[in-house]
Amino acid sequence: MLTVDFSRFPLAAGDRVLDLGCGGGRHAFECYRRGARVVALDRNAEEIAEVRKWFAAMEQAGEAPAGASAIAVEGDALSLPFPDGSFDKVIISEVMEHIPDDKGVLAEMVRVLKPGGSIAITVPRYGPEKVCWALSDEYHEVEGGHIRIYRGDELVGKMREAGLAPYGTHHAHGLHSPYWWIKCAVGVDNDKALPVRAYHQLLVWDIVGKPVVGRLTRWTERALNPVIGKSFVVYATKPRTGGGAVEGSGE
């Protein structure tokens, strides 16, 4: 389940890509399949170990084209272990809402991005996220949980302040907002509740592309994304010379 739309964030074979806060590695795996030279970085050592195993399995299965490469490293988003201008592309998906110093993270991403390179940032969308917070303190008041809710124009503004030029936005995962509202209403960890189990099965059918149901859920999600899409996605470039923000859009 990808949040970044690669038709809006195109990769060229051989691009060096940083998936910052990679988690389970979903975007890193897709970049690897598309021929990139991928670095997946996360502070969670267990997740990094798992991502390494999947990279190795993908290589053995021949899932990546010749010239592609992939490594997974443990590291700190506020002190990236890479020289300036190391990457053609940077992805940070559903991470910045967890980090107190989001401006520091933006500064580090801009530092390691090459001039002319591009970045994709995704965060929970303001409206659906506000509903989750209103329904459940347990949803966000946990160690490592969400510490802020971004308005779209706020995130775009911070990116401009960091020296980036936003060029496009959209919303994703419209089917997932009701799922999380249900979980927040019945208890975030109450996965045995019938409404949670039933909706989860629907999402599974959507992800695996189950015939008929999968087509219906994909159509429904496209219709719901502009209205209640759970994620807000912003794409931007690092200008080759200083200044000159490109038009972007807010929430």
In the block, tokens 């599974």 appear at: 204
Nearest Cα residue to 123 out of 234, 7, 250: 234
* Cβ contacts of 199 within 8 Å, gap of 6 or more: 178, 179, 182
- Render each residue's pLDDT in the chain as its tens digit; 251 residues: 899 999 999 999 999 999 999 999 999 999 999 999 999 999 999 999 999 999 999 999 999 999 999 999 999 999 999 999 999 999 999 999 999 999 999 999 999 999 999 999 999 999 999 999 999 999 998 888 899 999 999 999 999 999 999 999 999 999 999 999 999 999 999 999 999 999 988 888 776 665 666 678 888 999 999 999 999 999 999 998 754 444 444 45
pLDDT confidence of residue 208 = 67
Whole-model pTM: value is 0.91
Distance CA 235, CA 244 (A): 15
Cα–Cα distance for residue pair 114/133, rounded to 1 Å = 37
Q: Give the domains, in start order, of the chain with CATH numbers.
A: 76-237 (3.40.50.150)
The letter for the amino acid at 181 is W
The pLDDT value recorded for residue 213 is: 66
Please report the pLDDT score of residue 243 as a whole number.
Answer: 44
